[in-house]
Amino acid sequence: MQQRRLQGALSEPRGAETPGTAAETMAPAGAKRNILERLDAGEVVIGDGGFVIALEKRGYVKAGPWTPEAAAEYPEAVRQLHREFLRAGSNVMQTFTFYASDDKLENRGNTQRYTGQQINEAACDLAREVANEGDALVAGGVSQTPSFLSGKSEEDVKALFKKQIDVYVQKNVDFLIAEYFEHVEEAEWAVQVLKTTGKPVAATLCIGPEGDLNGVSPGDCAVKLVKAGADIVGVNCHFDPETCVKTVKLMKEGVEKAGLKAHYMSQPLAFHTPDCNRQGFIDLPEFPFALEPRILTRWEMQKYARDAYSTGIRYIGGCCGFEPYHIRAVSEELETERGFLPAGSEKHGSWGGGLMMHTKPWVRARARREYWEKLRPASGRPFCPSMSTPDGWRVTRGHADLMQQKEATSKEQLKVLIDKANQGN
């Protein structure tokens, strides 16, 4: 097999219990080049994958509220996932603080045991601990708020972001990400708050080529974000890699047409969504408990990495559905560009090379790139269609149906919703 250069100390199996032993091989935290130095130098920065879906499957996040209290409750589970992404090649450990604004946590009943501050702090500590085990930076994140959806004022919404930011500044994260915004307006507010810290700022919307929920085009969205102060712009979540790369391409064209400059990032779903409308995978009938047949293979992920790179995207990561092996596939696809493989590739032959040691000869015959590139995987589900018709309720910010409440939906409220849903079908 080819001579492969695996990354850093991690390629030496550690054998010892304490992960800390790996730390000796890394440069002191202060010495790491920051995110903009890397991107300015044209390097590829590999992001991590989404935590809520991965941890939901492992048993530590509740689907529905999707809140990150596990950072405080089950730190070993969160740490392990960080470590797996690091091992897969991630250069960024995002704090597990999705939906960790106080209004969301209160809405969802998660502040009884831990305050929002405690959760945000715990998430920072975990990200930093694992980032220190390798060549990764820590990014503190904020995302869209129930307050915005319910029509609260700019001041109120910004105050919520400020509260999270205060923790990130105190914990000295390396840079900040405003992510998962359906309305560019709220994202601009977030960027403005984040910008006050002096740290580099990335901003990603969860939109597709049709633009945000108010119909602002990807190009215009990107221009607004750059003007608000974002150093890196792009998309995350809601759509599959193909759609996301296409959307970032439109953003890039918009920014360049406006005579501005930015770096670009994409953190798509690991689910195929050719049948989505503007609202993305939330509206697919399979969301969130029957998305399995849509999960991308590692080979489809390599295609994503290549497409993103060719489009000029240099911050390449993932969101919901990404497992560590998906990030590893991104790293393996970009081995030449980066000059090395991730530590985790010690357990993975490129293009299926490990199969050369399989028991069955016909499986050994699959140890080659052309086999996996050409394969069109069957679903084993002859009664299921290839595509779905997404829900399409066409409600946006301020609509009564979107008002957020602390209580779970009542039986009566649920009945009304189900009736609406049935009429739609």
Interface with its own copies in residues 154-213 (CB under 8 A): none
Report whether 21 contacts 14 (CB < 8 A): yes
Q: Which of 17, 24, 155, 412 binds its own copies (CB under 8 A)?
A: 17
Q: Which residues contact 423 (CB under 8 A, 6 or more apart)?
A: none
CA-to-CA distance for 244 and 242, rounded, in angstroms? Answer: 6
CB of 121: closest distance to its own copies in angstroms? 14
Examine residue 214 and tell whether it contacts its own copies (CB under 8 A).
Answer: no
Q: Which residue has the tokens 């590739």?
A: 345
CB of 395: closest distance to its own copies in angstroms? 7
Closer of 308 and 327 to its own copies (Cβ): 327
Examine residue 296 and tell whether it contacts its own copies (CB under 8 A).
Answer: yes
Strand order in the sheet with 175-181: 45-46, 315-316, 263-267, 232-236, 201-205, 175-181, 137-143, 92-94
Report whether 308 contacts 316 (CB < 8 A): yes
- With CB under 8 A as the contact rule, which of the stretches 34-42, 155-163, 303-311, 412-420 interacts with its own copies? 412-420
**Residue 171: exposed, middle, or buried by beta-carbon count in 10 A (0-12, 13-18, 19+)?**
middle
CB of 272: closest distance to its own copies in angstroms? 3
Q: Which of 56, 102, 179, 188 binds its own copies (CB under 8 A)?
A: 56
Closer of 256 and 346 to its own copies (Cβ): 346
Q: Is 152 helix (H, G, I), strand (E, B) or coil?
A: coil
Q: Which of 84, 129, 174, 188 binds its own copies (CB under 8 A)?
A: 84
Q: Which residues contact 134 (CB under 8 A, 6 or more apart)?
A: 7, 8, 9, 10, 22, 26, 86, 87, 343
Closer of 274 and 312 to its own copies (Cβ): 274
Which one-letter DSSP state was computed for residue 111? T
- What part of residues 98-157 is at the interface with its own copies (CB under 8 A)? 107-109, 113, 146, 149
Say what angle helices 184-195 and 154-170 make with each other, to 10 degrees.
Answer: 40
Examine residue 299 and tell whether it contacts its own copies (CB under 8 A).
Answer: yes
Examine residue 4 and tell whether it contacts its own copies (CB under 8 A).
Answer: no
- What part of residues 311-370 is at the interface with its own copies (CB under 8 A)? 323-325, 328, 344, 346-349, 352-368
Binding mask 252-291 for its own copies (x = CB under 8 A): -------------------xxxxx---x--xxxxxxxxxx
